[in-house]
A = this chain, B = another copy of it.
Amino acid sequence: MEQALEQARLAEQRGEVPIGAVLVSSTGDLLAADGNRIVELKDPTAHAEMNVIRSASKILQNERLDGCDLYITLEPCAMCAQAISLARIRRVYFAADDPKGGGVHYGSRVFSHPTCHHKPEVYDGIKADEAQALLKDFFAKKRKAE
């Protein structure tokens, strides 16, 4: 999670919302680490989770990431949660909850439906305060600048 937080800080330096993600293989090797790149790439789908899933799939030359684990600084939205399911990721560890945009504990609750074909194990609240502080600072600074 420390590496995911580092990616969140790097994202902030690029002017992105500070969210980071890290994908680890079933043998514990780091496959991909990235943050949001929505503004940079002009791509509404370039969330940190999507970026590492796409990178890792390319590296492994496999559209299924069986046995891989994902670390994220914020609860994934419905897009990222469904991508996690489609990629067959084994475990998801995330830091802060996201009552406004989350798709795991809130809103769409993507993993909670009988039609969700693959449900990862979910572990939340890891370094949540640190992740949340990054986001709060970012939005406070943004409001001040407006």
Is A126 interfacial (CB 8 A cutoff)? no
- Nearest residue, chain B, Cβ from A78: B82
Contacts of A78 in B (CB 8 A): 78-79, 81-82, 103, 108, 110
Number of copies of chain A assembled together: 2
Number of residues of chain A lying within 8 A (CB) of chain B = 44
| Contact in complex: B58, A43 (CB < 8 Å) | yes
Contacts of A83 in B (CB 8 A): 44-45, 79
| Contact in complex: B116, A86 (CB < 8 Å) | no
**A interface, CB within 8 angstroms of B:** 38-39, 41-46, 50, 53-54, 57-58, 60-65, 77-83, 86-88, 99-103, 106-110, 113-117
